[in-house]
Amino acid sequence: MQFLMFLFAVFGTVEIIISGEPTKPLRGLFSKSKLGGTFIHCPLCLGFWVGIFWGYWITKDMLSPWYIAVFANGCMGSGIAYLLHSWLPPSLEER
């Protein structure tokens, strides 16, 4: 159950940041720099860091040692965000 909660938390957070109307000013702020503009619009890049964040809060007891858990959560987050984002209809991706 924790694993599913982790996956959906990562996907939801990434989609809110990439496509959500409330985060539009945040995207505009990050888009001013080349690195930030790429980062804030890339589900693979953003999913890695969001996966690390949510992995700490949700699945911190899942793997040991902690540095393997951090890396694994980032990779899982990146993969699920990219996979689910690629299945979205184009109209949702262009917001």
What is the residue-averaged pLDDT of the chain?
79
Which three-class secondary structure state does DSSP give residue 89? Answer: coil
Residue 46, amino acid:
L
Sign, CA dihedral 62-63-64-65, equals negative
The DSSP annotation for 64-75 comes to SSHHHHHHHHHH
pLDDT bucket at 91, cuts 50 / 70 / 90: low
In this predicted structure, the answer to whether residue 93 has a pLDDT above a threshold of 80 is no
Which pLDDT value is given to residue 69? 76
Instruction: Quote the CA–CA distance of 41 and 34 in Å, as a whole number.
Output: 11
List pLDDT tens digits, range 36-73.
Answer: 777 888 888 888 888 888 887 776 665 567 777 778 88
